[in-house]
A and B are shown apart, each in its own frame.
Chain A
Amino acid sequence: MHFKKRLYNLLKRIIRYPYKERIYALMWKVAHLPFIKLFAYFFVEVLGGYKIYKKLKRSYGKGTVFYICPHHGTGDIYNIGLYFHSYLKKNDIKKYEFLFRGKSEQKVGRLFDIHGDTILSDRDTLRLLRFTRFAYPYAADIVQLHHYPLPDEANEHFANLEGIYEGLSFSTMFKKVVMNLSDEIEPMQPHFCVEKNIEDIFEEKGLKKGKTVILAPYSSSAQVINMDIWEDIAEKLCKAGYAVATNCILGKERPISGTTELAFEYKYAKTYLEYAGFFVGARSGLCDIISSTNCRKIVLTPFWSPTLAWLGSAGKTMRFYGMWPNYKHTDTIEVEYNYDSSVQIPDKVFDLIYSPEISEYEIHLQSDLLPKFNDKVAIALSFDEYFSPYASVTIQSIVELSNSANTYDIILLNDGISPRTKKMLESSFEGLDNFSVRFVDCKSVFADKAYHVERGYRSVIYNRLVLPSILRNFEKIIYLDADIIMNSDIAELYSLQMGQNLIAAVRDLPMIAWASDPQNPEYDNIVNKLKLTVPTNYINSGVLIFNVNRFNEELPFEFITTYIENHLLRWMDQDVFNKLCDTKILLLSQKYNVLTSLRDDESIIRSSNESQLIYSYKEAMGDPKILHFISCSFLNIDNPPRWYEKYWRIAKKSPYYELLQLRALMALRKV
């Protein structure tokens, strides 16, 4: 596009903002100009790194080689330590200094006599490494000891190589990829110290020699198990006569209730664990450090969680970071679990502690969400605590219009709702054998991601994107927004043939009407930004039907999250569906998602360049099957939208009726 036109469009967009925000918008835009970013990067990052480099050279003198593990993690340092001295010997390095990322890492380094007094912060590490890359080959005395060096822009997709083949484990990466050592080189054993007062310490804390279980629930890299699971484990072990202690940082982490607080330094870990006899911990660097100690160790490893510190596919934690693939110690059992199967952990751990022999070193506790009925169709909603009352009306409408000859498998995705809310929602299904309702807490899916939301939308709107991944044993998923009510039996959609399409949805007629006008922002979004093949097929994501297998084949979840991270989307998840499913959307009749709002949609469509859409609109209005009260327009009781009486008639049967009335009154007051 011509430069002047681009500048004009940019200024037009900025002028739309309120006055104060125009300055910020302009500053943001200028700061993100590529050549400004280039100079800022050079003067801040590269020269900042150069300053750190000069300081290191001055402090440690000529001829010193600086080693650094670019990532946080005691497990990484442990694996470096296993082969570090062999590596130094092979490369004839006499003078070195190890730059640690934190005090914990330094303490682990001491176990292997790796000396290094410097601890670099995250910012300094990144600057130093950016400088090294920029100045290459002149700063070659800074060596990164990791198979995934920083900055990571150069790494493309090399993280895919982790765990992709058997034998290509975490430890192998350090030994072979990073240090290029031969198979004959044996790992070095860490030097633990003996805690001479161990007997007194155990006696003081009421712990028993050989019959104490040390629990280590805290992990910076894989925190997935809820505390109540740990409490369950502790209770079972206490009842069976074991003494139970929690390894935690004094004053910062609380011990599991019913257990004794027990803190020890890494150098004494061997003494403590061998005296205690048992260890149960979440997969973390501590598990690597104690891997060589002689006690029964049970390590709990997540199958997958989006909050894991490392990139990769499901099952990677055990394949790549697993205790058996890396250390092959016969007194360690690794238990792999996922969210649903974590409830099995307490019983499993108890059995493993109690049994005299170890028969397997890797146990997989997994339970997928399986269909309850033969039709393998799920009906899913996604909402948070605030939207629960609206979801209850949606659910009530499904129940009201259901047919006893059909079955309804309802999955309620939520952001962590209270048990009371769950009970209230379940009350709509009491006595109904043809209904199944299950709750899936999706809070951790996007917990570490700050996706763009605006105009009052909440981050829970992205949850629908994860549906095909977690319900992959279903053939179809019918997704409904929580501001929708049914006006017909939802089972009508069960028999829809999806073919090769990824989703089925209904076109958003007002949006298409707006997008037909080049002066309208929706035109810019749909035509210029999303560049849809057929802009008049832009769909509304309030009612979706997923073709699960096809969707998972073409759009794996990691791909979707990468797409969202790299694009600023005006209509958030709706734009994701429109763009990524472009040309593979089965268009449903308009009556399956009739938008009812405070707007005059009919006038919008009539006055647009796509006025022929009015026929589809009229047809849908004549026989609406699903009513979508966008932006919760049903709350507008003084100027109600069309069909609001249907909504309130169903709402009367919801356990949240009084709350809904209150919210409608509060909405009235705000106006």
Chain B
Amino acid sequence: MPNLFFVLYRRLFKAFSGYILWHNIVHQNRISGDCAVVLLPSPDDEECARYSIKYLKAFLKYNPTYKEVVFLSAYHQLDDLIKEYQMKDYIRTVIPLSKKKVDQLINFYNANLNDKRLIVASLDMPKGRNGLDYLHTNMLSKEEIFLIGLYNITTGPEFNQFSGKKSSAAGEDTYAF
């Protein structure tokens, strides 16, 4: 096992590179507070890429803080999915990223990035996210976990299409005081 101390400092350097990358992305693309940035960190995760495009319209509808979306994508066939779901109007731009840059960005995220605009569209990245563990219950599919856990959609036809036996008041934003 390598010396952990040096690993940490290497990661710090990567995190700092990630900061510079994030700063450039935000300022070059003039990303304001009402623009979400969806990061697709894995070049092989076709499912998450598909769900991120498929439910984009619903995401913007049920998260009204955001008016548009920028994609940072390590998945290189994203344009095909955008065409398939006809979501071009909701996406300001797609910025392709290499694996190295994604790694830097994730390291920056792990260093307490704390920017609510960034949504990492993956069920097991960054470290600490345990979306895939919910599959052990045999009650949820990846699509549901993505929709509910990442895109925060707990109401509407997109949520109701899933056949899981919903709890009596689940999906309703009602507050009795």
User: Is the C-beta of A155 less than 8 angstroms from some C-beta in chain B?
Assistant: yes
User: Is the C-beta of B75 less than 8 angstroms from some C-beta in chain A?
Assistant: no
Known contacts A50-B8, A304-B176; is-contact A531 B111 (Cβ 8 Å):
no
User: Is the C-beta of A149 less than 8 angstroms from some C-beta in chain B?
Assistant: yes
Residue pair A303, B176 in contact (C-beta under 8 Å): yes
Known contacts A38-B19, A147-B130, A156-B119; is-contact A315 B169 (Cβ 8 Å):
yes
Residue pair A168, B139 in contact (C-beta under 8 Å): yes
Selected contact of B177 from candidates A35, A161, A168, A304, CB within 8 Å: A304
User: Is the C-beta of A372 less than 8 angstroms from some C-beta in chain B?
Assistant: no
Residue pair A557, B175 in contact (C-beta under 8 Å): yes
Q: Which of A146-193 contact B (CB under 8 A)?
A: 147, 149-151, 153-158, 160-161, 163-168, 172, 176-178, 180
Q: How far is the CA of A38 from the CA of B21 in the complex (A)?
A: 14
**Shortest Cβ distance from B149 into A: residue:** A158
Flag the segment in A106-114, A127-135, A196-204 that touches B: A127-135
Q: How far is the CA of A338 from the CA of B175 in the complex (A)?
A: 10
- Chain B residues near A469 (CB-CB < 8 A): 174-175, 177
Decide if the interface of chain A is mainly helix, strand, loop or mixed. helix
- Chain B residues near A292 (CB-CB < 8 A): none
User: Is the C-beta of A136 less than 8 angstroms from some C-beta in chain B?
Assistant: yes
Q: Which of A115-132 contact B (CB under 8 A)?
A: 129-130, 132
Residue pair B175, A314 in contact (C-beta under 8 Å): yes
- Chain B residues near A153 (CB-CB < 8 A): 109, 112-114
Flag the segment in B10-18, B47-55, B86-94, B96-104 that touches A: B10-18
Selected contact of A37 from candidates B4, B112, B175, CB within 8 Å: B112
Total A-B pairs, Cβ < 8 A: 195
Residue pair A440, B149 in contact (C-beta under 8 Å): no
Q: How far is the CA of A136 from the CA of B14 in the complex (A)?
A: 14
Q: How far is the CA of A138 from the CA of B5 in the complex (A)?
A: 11
Residue pair A38, B111 in contact (C-beta under 8 Å): yes
Residue pair A34, B23 in contact (C-beta under 8 Å): yes
User: Is the C-beta of A259 less than 8 angstroms from some C-beta in chain B?
Assistant: no
Q: Which of the four size classes fits the interface of chain A? A: 35 or more
Q: Which of B130-177 contact A (CB under 8 A)?
A: 130-131, 133-134, 136-140, 145, 148-152, 154, 164-177
User: Is the C-beta of B83 less than 8 angstroms from some C-beta in chain A?
Assistant: no
Residue pair A38, B16 in contact (C-beta under 8 Å): yes
Q: How far is the CA of A34 from the CA of B152 in the complex (A)?
A: 26
Known contacts A153-B114, A163-B170, A165-B167; is-contact A133 B127 (Cβ 8 Å):
yes
Residue pair B16, A160 in contact (C-beta under 8 Å): no
**Shortest Cβ distance from A445 into B: residue:** B177
Known contacts A133-B128, A313-B172; is-contact A42 B111 (Cβ 8 Å):
yes
User: Is the C-beta of B108 less than 8 angstroms from some C-beta in chain A?
Assistant: yes
Known contacts A50-B8, A149-B130, A161-B148; is-contact A338 B177 (Cβ 8 Å):
yes
User: Is the C-beta of B45 less than 8 angstroms from some C-beta in chain A?
Assistant: no
Residue pair B136, A304 in contact (C-beta under 8 Å): no
Closest Cβ–Cβ distance, residue A163 to chain B (whole Å): 6
**Shortest Cβ distance from A47 into B: residue:** B8
Residue pair A368, B128 in contact (C-beta under 8 Å): no
**Shortest Cβ distance from B108 into A: residue:** A38
User: Is the C-beta of A552 less than 8 angstroms from some C-beta in chain B?
Assistant: yes
Q: How far is the CA of A368 from the CA of B73 in the complex (A)?
A: 47
Closest Cβ–Cβ distance, residue A360 to chain B (whole Å): 15
Residue pair B175, A304 in contact (C-beta under 8 Å): yes
Closest Cβ–Cβ distance, residue B30 to chain A (whole Å): 9
User: Is the C-beta of A339 less than 8 angstroms from some C-beta in chain B?
Assistant: yes
Q: How far is the CA of A566 from the CA of B129 in the complex (A)?
A: 22
Interface centre among B5, B8, B138, B170 (most CB of A within 10 A): B170
User: Is the C-beta of A580 less than 8 angstroms from some C-beta in chain B?
Assistant: yes
Residue pair B154, A164 in contact (C-beta under 8 Å): yes
Known contacts A149-B130, A153-B114, A176-B137; is-contact A163 B167 (Cβ 8 Å):
yes
Q: Which of A355-405 contact B (CB under 8 A)?
A: 366, 368
Interface centre among A313, A340, A552 (most CB of B within 10 A): A313
User: Is the C-beta of A643 less than 8 angstroms from some C-beta in chain B?
Assistant: no
Closest Cβ–Cβ distance, residue A415 to chain B (whole Å): 14
Q: How far is the CA of A145 from the CA of B147 in the complex (A)?
A: 24
Q: How far is the CA of A613 from the CA of B176 in the complex (A)?
A: 42
Known contacts A163-B170, A472-B174, A556-B173; is-contact A34 B19 (Cβ 8 Å):
yes
Q: How far is the CA of A163 from the CA of B171 in the complex (A)?
A: 10
**Shortest Cβ distance from A313 into B: residue:** B173
Interface centre among B12, B149, B176 (most CB of A within 10 A): B176
- Chain A residues near B170 (CB-CB < 8 A): 163-165, 313, 315, 319
Residue pair B110, A134 in contact (C-beta under 8 Å): yes
- Chain B residues near A588 (CB-CB < 8 A): none
User: Is the C-beta of A14 less than 8 angstroms from some C-beta in chain B?
Assistant: no
Residue pair A35, B19 in contact (C-beta under 8 Å): yes
Closest Cβ–Cβ distance, residue A596 to chain B (whole Å): 33
Residue pair B112, A177 in contact (C-beta under 8 Å): no
User: Is the C-beta of A350 less than 8 angstroms from some C-beta in chain B?
Assistant: no
Selected contact of A368 from candidates B113, B129, B137, B176, CB within 8 Å: B176
Q: How far is the CA of A165 from the CA of B134 in the complex (A)?
A: 12
User: Is the C-beta of A214 less than 8 angstroms from some C-beta in chain B?
Assistant: no
Residue pair B112, A531 in contact (C-beta under 8 Å): no
Residue pair A154, B154 in contact (C-beta under 8 Å): no
Q: How far is the CA of A580 from the CA of B63 in the complex (A)?
A: 11
User: Is the C-beta of B65 less than 8 angstroms from some C-beta in chain A?
Assistant: yes
Residue pair A314, B176 in contact (C-beta under 8 Å): yes
User: Is the C-beta of B32 less than 8 angstroms from some C-beta in chain A?
Assistant: yes
Known contacts A160-B148, A338-B176; is-contact A155 B128 (Cβ 8 Å):
yes
Closest Cβ–Cβ distance, residue B101 to chain A (whole Å): 17
Closest Cβ–Cβ distance, residue A615 to chain B (whole Å): 33
Known contacts A135-B8, A149-B130, A151-B128; is-contact A165 B177 (Cβ 8 Å):
no
User: Is the C-beta of A45 less than 8 angstroms from some C-beta in chain B?
Assistant: yes
Q: How far is the CA of A531 from the CA of B32 in the complex (A)?
A: 10
Known contacts A304-B175, A470-B175, A557-B175; is-contact A168 B7 (Cβ 8 Å):
no
Q: How far is the CA of A130 from the CA of B110 in the complex (A)?
A: 8
**Shortest Cβ distance from B171 into A: residue:** A164
Q: Mark A465-491, 1 if CB is under 8 A from B, else 0.
A: 010011010000000000000000000
For the complex with contacts A34-B19, A164-B170, 12 further pairs of A-B residues with Cβ separation under 8 Å are A37-B112, A38-B108, A39-B12, A133-B126, A135-B11, A155-B129, A164-B167, A167-B139, A304-B175, A313-B173, A554-B64, A566-B116
Q: List 16 A-B contacts (CB under 8 A).
A: A38-B16, A45-B112, A134-B8, A134-B11, A147-B133, A147-B134, A149-B130, A153-B114, A156-B119, A156-B152, A160-B149, A164-B170, A166-B167, A313-B173, A314-B169, A469-B174
Closest 3 CB pairs of A and B: A556-B173, A154-B128, A469-B175
